[in-house]
């Protein structure tokens, strides 16, 4: 019963991150934070699942390393967009412009 509560809590965390990602698409920073929230909920899911089957946690450390790299790339894109356009609104910049 306790594991069912854990799984349902993780799924609620993940889908709340998806909901924020879908509904708040005005600022890039909010979208990056919701993506990191989804990544951390998936990390929690992976960590609990690997401990449940008595598997080593090396894969979860590798996953966390890739997540940190993804977060650093997102922040660098955010900084470059703020320096170029002055804000992080999606409607103020276009991908088609050079």
- Which tens digit of pLDDT belongs to each residue from 1-41? 777 887 888 889 899 989 988 887 788 888 889 999 999 99
Instruction: State the virtual CA torsion across 42, 43, 44, 47 in degrees, nearest 10.
Output: 120
Contact indicator for 12, 5 with CB cutoff of 8 Å:
no
Q: What domains are there in the chain, each with its CATH number?
A: 2-92 (1.10.287.3510)
User: What is the pTM for the complete model shown?
Assistant: 0.81
Contact indicator for 6, 40 with CB cutoff of 8 Å:
no
97: number of Cβ within 10 Å: 6
Q: What are phi and psi of 26, to 5 degrees?
A: -95, -45
Tokens representing 58?
């090396």
């Amino acid at each position: 019963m306790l594991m069912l509560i854990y799984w349902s809590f993780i799924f609620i965390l993940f889908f709340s991150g998806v909901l924020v990602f879908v509904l708040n698409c005005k600022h890039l920073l909010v979208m990056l934070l919701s993506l990191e929230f989804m990544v951390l909920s998936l990390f929690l899911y992976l960590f609990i699942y690997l401990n449940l089957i008595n598997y080593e946690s090396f894969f979860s450390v590798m996953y966390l390393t890739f997540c940190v790299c993804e977060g650093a790339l997102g922040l660098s894109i955010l900084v470059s967009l703020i320096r170029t356009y002055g804000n992080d609104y999606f409607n103020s910049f276009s991908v088609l412009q050079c």
